[in-house]
Structure 1
Amino acid sequence: MSKLNVILVSGSRHTIPPNKNSPGVPRIIEALSKNDSASMSYKVLSKYEDNLDHKAYDRNKYLHIKPTPWNRFFENILHYVPLKIKKRIFGYSLEDRIVYYEGIKRFIKKEKPDVVITFMHFELFKKLCKAYPKAKHIYFFRSTDLKLRLGLKNIDFLLKNSSGFLANTRAPIDELKALSPNLNFPTQTIYNSVNLSDFSDKISDGLSKQYRKEFNLTSSDFIVGYAGRLSEEKSILELFEAVHYLNNKGLKIHLFIAGSIEIETTPNIHYYKEIIKFAEENLTDQVHFLGWLPNKELYEFYNAIDIGVLLSKYSEGNSMFLIESLSMGTPIIATSIGGNLEIITNGENGFLIEVENVKENLIEKLEMIANDKKHLNQMSINALNYIKQHHTIDIMVGKFNNFMQNFEA
């Protein structure tokens, strides 16, 4: 019996195997791809990076759309095509994405795989379904609010052309089943996950003290941490205002903020200047901007903070910041939206607060937990235990392998 040829396609412009600066998705795709069996053989298709030439990896499994003279010429031509026309023809307008996706399409038509799993962008999923309809196509949706993100027209395309559906939260699967009660293809939630050896073995009071010392802070200082985009939707100003209010009440809280406006794709410069100004005027020695931190250094950050915050206002999928923080025994205060609701149990491994009252709820929770170290310590234990029971890579790979059994001959 011949093996099924399965290709995992990354719609994001990050290379796989991941490098030290890679976000969570490339690392998850790599983990899922390492599961060749008697019936299935996996390959991964992602964007090429120069550093791959000097990296040791399986070049038969990890394939890349490499730059060619034709690609460069095509991208230069696209630069002069109006945005509206590019979007009408391709469904998106970024030149490098167009070139990358067209390269993926040519590769799939040439490779003729049995199964294609497309991560991230739905326009790429549509393109590959049309380019090679003989394959079984599976879409891996990595957000919440399926109808809002895709629209009914695209959901209709999904229902007619997909052989399976994966998501990193339960919500979009529930939504899809509600829209199509007689759904005729398999679904599965594959949450973000961590390799506990990457994080949990580095939980250390000594490491925390060492990191804090760089900022003239001690183990008794209470530190709240956030890592991510410095945008309005993450409620950073509300966080600063809550800490300022508690400071005036006599409770001094320090903030570690990891992120860089310079690497954001759609930076809100006006908002960034607003939070910087507020910090300089009201929290001069309490807000510590750490800049962007590569993944390999985040464990030090998680070790150093007492509690993290994830205060998204509009949507939130299955945040790697959330999962990784919990895996280091760091509880999270999160807004009660999207994937946060599937991870945080209020009062056990963190707190859920309402979007409509972020500042007021933060003040209440921060004041309470800063003065109740016993509760904080128990939540820390609960956080790590939750990850061990629900979000290790082995657990998610097992779910993925069970899902893929639906496509065995």
Structure 2
Amino acid sequence: MSADKLKIAIYSGDIPSTTFIENLIEALSEQEFEVYLFGKLRRKVNYKENIKLFPTPQSSLRLIIFVILEGAKLFIKNKSKFNKTIKQLKNKNKNKKSFVRNLGFILPVLNNQPDIFHIQWAKTVNLNYELYNLLDCKIAVSLRGAHINYSPLNDPELKKAYEIYFPKTDGFHAVSKAIAGEAVKYGADKNKIRVIHSSVKDEFLLSNAIRKNRNDIFEIISIGRHHWKKGYHYALDAMNYLKEEGFKFNYTIIAQGDIPEEILFLLNEYRLNDHVKIIKGMEHVKLMEKLKSSDLLLLPSVEEGIANVALEAMSSGVTTLSTDCGGMNEVIHNGENGFIIPVRDPKSISGKIMEISRSDPETLLNISLNALDTIKTEFSREKQKREFSEFYNSLVDG
């Protein structure tokens, strides 16, 4: 590899990371970049040659040995940087265990500095603020969902960290215009924010939309972790209205984690157990099969950036119904390529579901065609690759 390749660190804390971050890593690896991954190695992954891993050990003994070796490297390379690092982390960490863990994170970064350190989760700005004092490279931060929309509202310490370090950040990647606007409230320079939408893998794209055979029972699906912001309780309120109307449906929620008590209560209160099924996670291939077999993806969220599951549904020919939250109206145009309803409005959800179920197949086919065209035009892998390349090059050239 040539020495002039731009070195980009993609940092989420875990190797591998979430699906959409792994998609970004894969997209960058297809370009003239060297990609550095720091963090905890959760499982072995076969990456391309231009992706370099610098994992931090998790066991205590291996971590101590790792810190000693990495510390020696930094001391030999840059004694003043080593001393500065030790001093700052001693002041930051209240006990030896957290001090060693912190060293295990920062030392490999300092020994293998990239040209750009791209933080994937904004909360890292608070957890590892030493990056701003110790790195000699550009720092970029991704602005995604909860970390921007409501976490700083409930966490004064996080809000303060954003207000201190956002103005010092060299560039921001926002998943939607709505989230970009939220970050400005905490001191992010709007001129340094680049909105780059997530992409859908080419293999998930239909070559064309498919007219579905309508069954007597309308199949509805929601996908996403159990969290109040996902709005599943509003969805269950809506399912109760549908049941009272005598509407024939099945509703499947696929969500990681334990089912909240509120959801269990509503299932029993509304006697929905014959209509609603909750599945605790599913591998992605099977998840996509389940999604494609559904008549409707329902996104009842209170807050979102742009939900990746909505993009996958639209790329798969599945009609999509979303609340008007976050950046969802940047991808779904009501009645054209999907449907938008107000947030926290179960009556609107149930009413729109019945309306969609009664729509003629030709209308829904045209909506699916428009949705597919939206994904191919605005959320393609090639578009994402081009825009990230422009973003990174602008940081080092600026």
Shift in Å, 1:285: 3.0
Alignment of 1:245-324 (within 5 A): 245-262=241-258, 268=260, 270-278=261-269, 282-313=271-302, 315-324=303-312
Q: Which runs of 5+ in 1 are unaligned?
A: 75-85, 210-217
Tell me if structure 2 keeps the 8 A contact 1:9–1:46: no
Uncovered stretches (5+) of structure 2, i.e. residues with no partner: 66-88, 153-157
Match of 1:195 in 2: 201
Quick one: structure 1 residues 145 and 294, their matched pair in 2 at CA, closer, same or farther if it must change by over 3 Å? closer
Partners of 1:145 and 1:172 within 8 A in 2: no
Q: CA deviation at 1:127?
A: 2.9
Specify the alignment match of 1:157 in structure 2: 164
Secondary structure of the 1:237 match is helix
State the partner residue of 1:103.
Answer: 104
When residues 258 and 178 of structure 1 are mapped into structure 2, their CA distance, relative to the original with a 3 A threshold, is closer
Residue 213 (structure 1) aligns with? none
Amino acid at match of 1:193: S
Identify if the C-alpha distance between structure 1 residues 138 and 234 changes in structure 2 by more than 3 Å, giving closer, same or farther. closer
Specify whether residues 194 and 237 from structure 1 end up closer, same or farther in structure 2 by C-alpha distance, changes over 3 A only: same
Shift of residue 203, structure 1, vs aligned partner: 7.5
The equivalent of 1:11 in structure 2 is 12
Paired residue type of 1:129: Y
Which residue identity does 1:155 align to in structure 2? Y
Which residue of 388, 391, 394 maps to 1:406?
394
1:143 and 1:243 map into 2 onto residues whose CA distance is 26
Q: Tell me, what secondary structure is at the counterpart of 1:345? A: coil
1:129 alignment partner in structure 2: 132
Alpha-carbon distance between aligned partners in 1 of 2:238 and 2:149, rounded to the nearest angstrom: 34
Query: What's the CA shift string for 1:204-258, capped at 9, x where partnerless?
Result: 78xx88xxxxxxxx84431111011234433323323323322332321111221
Please say if residues 186 and 406 of structure 1, whose CA atoms lie closer than 8 Å, have aligned partners that are also in contact: no
1:23 pairs, out of 19, 33, 42, with 19
Structure 1: distance between partners of 2:285 and 2:40 = 21
Q: How does 1:58-207 map to 2 (within 5 A)?
A: 58=49, 61-70=52-61, 89=92, 102-120=103-121, 121=123, 122-124=125-127, 126-132=129-135, 134-143=136-145, 146=148, 148-150=150-152, 153-176=160-183, 183=189, 186-200=192-206
Counterparts of 1:349 and 1:101, CA distance in 2: 47
* Deviation of the 1:398 alpha carbon: 0.8
CA contact (8 A) 2:143 2:183 kept: no
Shift of 1:345: 0.9
- How far did residue 106 of structure 1 move? 1.1
Give the TM-score normalised by the residue count of structure 1: 0.76
TM alignment of 1:303-382, pairs within 5 A: 303-313=292-302, 315-356=303-344, 358-374=345-361, 375-382=363-370
CA deviation profile, 1:367-388 (whole Å, cap 9, x unmatched): 1111113333322222211111
TM-score under structure 2 normalisation?
Answer: 0.78
Contact 2:40 2:58 in 1 (8 A): no
For 2:206, the aligned partner's letter is S
Q: Does the 8 Å contact 2:208/2:372 carry over to 1?
A: no
Q: Aligned residue for 1:214? A: none
Deviation at residue 178 of structure 1 after TM alignment: 6.9
1:111–1:72 CA distance, 2 compared to 1 (3 A): closer
Provide the C-alpha distance between the structure 2 equivalents of 1:293 and 1:143, rounded to a whole number of angstroms: 22
User: Would you say the 8 A contact 2:209–2:369 is kept in 1?
Assistant: no
CA contact (8 A) 1:140 1:166 kept: yes
Q: What displacement does 1:28 show?
A: 2.4
**Displacement, 1:117?**
1.1
